[in-house]
Amino acid sequence: MKKNANLYDPSSASLSEEVTETLYVDEWVRIERIISTGQASPEGFWYDQKENEWVCVLEGQGAIQWEDGSTKVLDRGEWVLIPAHVRHRVLSTSATPPCIWLAFFWKC
């Protein structure tokens, strides 16, 4: 867990793999910074989380697809709240600039 860093620093980004950094975690909350460079969820894969998630795109663009087929494209500064057990997947992310996500997860 990092104690201090710049949220916009893409230096840990890899062109081939998504990077997830845990910024804070305790028994109730987890905060992550995720750097995506064109990655997406595998075809047929769906997140079905036990936690609520608030996620914001700090840089770049990311698209989330819901199980019903609808999508939400998030540009810089846009966020979405994903309640626990709402099935979703990452449809696409920008590579240039990298998509930098900030995600808060908390237990129900």
> Selecting from 2.60.120.10, 1.10.340.30, 3.40.50.2000, 3.30.1490.440, what CATH number does the domain 19-107 have?
2.60.120.10
- Non-local (6+) Cβ contacts of 72 within 8 A are 63, 64, 66, 80
pLDDT of the residue at 1: 63
pTM as predicted:
0.91
pLDDT of residue 102: 98
DSSP 21-54: EEEEE-SSEEEEEEEESS--PPTT--B--SEEEE
Q: What is the structure's pLDDT at 2?
A: 65
Beta bridge partners of 107: 51
- Are 105 and 50 spatial neighbours (Cβ–Cβ below 8 Å)? no
**For every one of its 108 residues, what pLDDT tens digit does the chain have, with 9 covering 90 and above?**
667 888 988 777 676 889 999 999 999 999 999 999 999 999 999 999 999 999 999 999 999 999 999 999 999 999 999 999 999 999 999 999 999 999 999 998
